[in-house]
Amino acid sequence: MKKFVLISGLILTACFASAKDIVNWQIIHWPPLMILENEGNKMTGEYALLMKLLQEHLTDYDHEYLEMSWARFWSDIQIGKPICNIFAFKNPEREKYTEFSVPISIFLSNSLIMKKSTLKSLKLGDPKSISLLKLMNKKGIKGFLEKSRSYSAPLDKLLSEHENGSNIYRQALKSAATVPMLLENRIDYLIEYPAIASYVRKKNMDIPGEIVSVQIEEIEPYTWGYLACPKNEWGKKLIGRVNNIAMREKSTMYYHDLMKTATTNKTEIQMIDDIYEEFVKATK
């Protein structure tokens, strides 16, 4: 009997020693940045590749995937669940309950997306940029934003200060629904990444209309993306690991090319090339 207890104890000890922490990765169908196929069992896109790269270096963790909305993710992270988001933006409110990595991706900034006919009717000519503040206070038009989505710290700040009373409304809808709404004249403009708007437009060729993207005057043309985990010991440990991986891997040509996966034209490619050294040096 004593021998059995000893052997059982050894087996239990070995099992506990080999157990790994689990990282739950939020996944979301957000083409072309992350494309989920076969009920989420197959993932492609820039952020699927970036997630795979990090996982290859996090071999002491087991990795699981949870498909969920942005609102659900931020709700879960506030209560400390062991879940992380690979394409997160910082803002002061989130930093209260979120541990953020060093910058791990480059986001070419959101643009104003509207129908070409709408831009023409606003009589703005063919501008390179438009003031969002002026647009959102213009009477007779309707803007749309996704509920609980961060559009980057500068835009979030502008919206928090001026959105109330403007022509913008929010709902928990993804770009797959909002771009068709734009084409059908149910809304006049939205804020989105040009690559995503272009992708969704191509998926809805049965709806007539041409869309255009115009840079937002109040923000820089690019920003950084971060890994976001809960602000607890588990999250801090994982973020520390990811910081070390990112600061090493960002100097490689593979990582550089990865940041250009979702670009749609030569101008975007050149912008990433021009700012890449700044991105490598960024540690906050």
* pLDDT over threshold 90, residue 227: yes
pLDDT of residue 71: 86
pLDDT of residue 38: 76
Give residue 266's identity as a one-letter amino acid code: K
Angle (CA) 274 277 278, round 5°? 90
Q: What are phi and psi of 87, to 5 degrees?
A: -130, 60
The pLDDT-based confidence of 283 (bands split at 50, 70, 90) is confident
pLDDT of residue 266: 85
* CATH 3.40.190.10 segments of the chain: 22-107+223-281, 111-216
Verify cis geometry, omega within 30 degrees of 0, for the bond prior to 32: yes
Note the pLDDT tens digit of each residue in 66-83.
Answer: 999 888 999 999 999 999
pLDDT of residue 39: 65
**What HEC string does 98-147 produce?**
EEECCCCEEEECCEEEEEHHHHHHCCCCCCCEECHHHHHCCCCCCEEEEC
Q: Are 22 and 82 in contact (CB under 8 A)?
A: yes
Reference 221, options 144, 157, 128; nearest CA is: 128
* pLDDT over threshold 50, residue 45: yes
Give domain 22-107+223-281's CATH number out of 3.40.50.2300, 3.40.190.10, 3.40.50.300, 3.30.70.1890: 3.40.190.10
* pLDDT over threshold 80, residue 2: no
Encoded tokens for 81:
């669940």
Burial of 97 (0-12, 13-18, 19+ CB in 10 A): middle
Note the pLDDT tens digit of each residue in 97-148.
Answer: 999 999 999 988 899 999 999 999 888 777 889 999 999 999 999 999 998 7
Give domain 111-216's CATH number out of 3.40.50.2300, 3.20.20.70, 3.40.190.10, 3.40.50.2000: 3.40.190.10
* pLDDT over threshold 60, residue 40: no
pLDDT of residue 281: 94
pLDDT of residue 13: 45
Q: What are phi and psi of 82, to 5 degrees?
A: -75, 75
pLDDT of residue 15: 43
Note the pLDDT tens digit of each residue in 162-219.
Answer: 999 999 999 988 888 999 999 999 999 999 988 889 889 988 988 999 999 899 999 9
* Strand partners for 88: 226
Reference 32, options 213, 192, 157; nearest CA is: 192
* pLDDT over threshold 80, residue 9: no
